Chains A and B, each alone.
Chain A
Amino acid sequence: MNLVELYDIPDAVLPREPRLGGSCVAVPADRLASLARSGPAVLGLRPGLAGTDGFTASLLKELRALVGLPDGHSCLLVPVVPQTLAQQFGREKWAMAHDVVPRPVAGAARPSGAAGPGGWSAADLTGSSWPLAEGLLAELDVAAFCPGALLGVVPGSTVLTLSPRAAEAARGEEDSGPFGVRALLDADAPGTPRPSASDLMMLAHGVRTLAESHPERLEDEVGARLALVRARTAGRSWLAGPPYRRGRDLACVLPTTLSPAAVRELVEYLESRALVYGLADPDLPTALRVGLGRTCDDDDLVRLTGLLDVLLEEAR
């Protein structure tokens, strides 16, 4: 591929926010600003103080309300990625016995359909709008999702919810260690990883922002951004088919006519110049994944499609 130099790319097609790929998250500036504006209330205080525990309880209450979690379900933020948490589930007897290792959802079907033995069910909802689907988390015994794409905060962590029976089963697991689900559920377990106060502060801001900005409109907004990407790429020779969305993903797939090596070269070119991050998808080596969530601005998506045109020689 003969990629052009930066000085040959029109400024008009350079995205202002480079974190547009489906595998990265643009943490909005207002989430970071919340650390300075609200942070002094809890940052620097040790867990266990009334202020910090009250803040955490308040945050989880809002989060539960946002995702419609029933009172009996457990809800916590775990400072590891969902894949790592799934590995831990895979090591625990109760989770294997009920087949509730949270795995990424695929397709448009409501994930509660894949029930395990005894009617138990689990899903990893990362990168999708499924956590906002009415009643879904109440139906799942185990649900996990990284809050990054949905809330624009804390990539690298996992929101974990457990049904009452799942929590009871996890608490009955012996010798699962400080990283086990039992320890995660026990606020006093020594040596168990906990989210930092700054992560909780940003999560609180992300939850409040989404809750107060019509979360029920998110699906329509994502659909509109998909339509925008489709319109801006219609008829391009480098596309192997129209952009599409898998299930309720907060990103779309652009199938290309490029070889895997050419896609890698393009992605590396964009990332090394800080133009666009995260367009690669290891599962789809000839495709590009573009974010459609609220952190992806329409204007930047237009710029991105123009940039791809320049680089893939449509516009020259």
Chain B
Amino acid sequence: MSFSVDAVRAQFPILATSVHGKPLVYLDNGATTQKPQCVIDALNTYYSSQNSNVHRGAHYLSDVATAEFEGARQVVADFLNASREEILWTRGTTESINIVAQCYAREQLQTGDEILITAMEHHSNIVPWQLACERSGATLKVVPVHDDGSLDMEAYDALLSERTRIVAVVQVSNSLGTINPIAEIIAKAKAIGAVTLIDGAQAISHFPVDVQALDCDFYAFSGHKVFGPTGIGALYGKRALLEAMPPYQGGGEMIERVTFAASTWNELPYKFEAGTPNIGGAIGLGTAIRWLDNQDRVALEQHEASLLDYATERAGEIGGLRLIGTAPNKVAVLSFLLEGGHPNDVGQLLDQQGVAVRTGHHCTMPLMDRLGIPGTVRASLSVYNDKSDIDTLFNALNKVKTFL
């Protein structure tokens, strides 16, 4: 299979648009990825000719919608190498983590137990555990990071103990791009009997994930960060754990039988899916994953790695630019500060030139505190970015410097 970035780009209509009269250079893929035409078409087809409620209709359209919706679940299951009963539809990574924090941590943990996270977690992999600790009496422990943004694995070993009940770790840092050695982290947690959750939000679009090979207990990701729609995501959980957990929300769909005396729960995965789900979103996500699966993943990874190398090299040529996050193992994320300019100034002046980046603390305030900075400018790349996007970024940064 030959790889052509132009052929990939051509499938994303938004990349041909302009902002402030300049061609769009979209470098905010860590926040959300753009959607290929096939995903846009799938949503259109669903709402134009398939829309119906799932699982209970006594009519043709409901059967079509159910087949599409459950087909999408199977696509996600195959993508992660899981079985379909272990894939729960959620609103995204945040809800996925909250389900585990509420239905597992809060139920199972008690005073003296510990939950271990890292200093580079997104707020959505911090706050749900804080809430679970408050309710259960457990304690939150934090694995520190080195100055280059890599995880302190010696500290991890030291913090891991028989009190550790849950290890919840981000696979790829959204702020810095650091790839954590999660296979090692999971194996060590497993050795002491802790349950593991991997926040895969920033990893899922960059490289293949196999939950059985990793042997994690839970894996969370968002659809919109992997070329799918917003408002849909998934939680993978090992069957035995999901079976033992109480339901997340009560309502329709999640029940087997309801009487005023008591109700019994539906089987997996429906037990955790109260109410009418995001049917269109699930179908869109299934389409996005099928699209990604049909690409040459190795070629995409190589393409992203070469973009990161090129961007890092160009960053070194800009005086006053300080890279934040230089771990040896990184996805194509360039977080930086420009001397004399607040990240917001830099972001706004880039925006005027058509370059979309994110600025600020990236929902990782404790990490920014650790690094002693208010935030960064973050350029996060995806498969459809090319060398000319990076050239435009650095030309625009040279112009920004004339303002500071």
A and B physically associate:
no
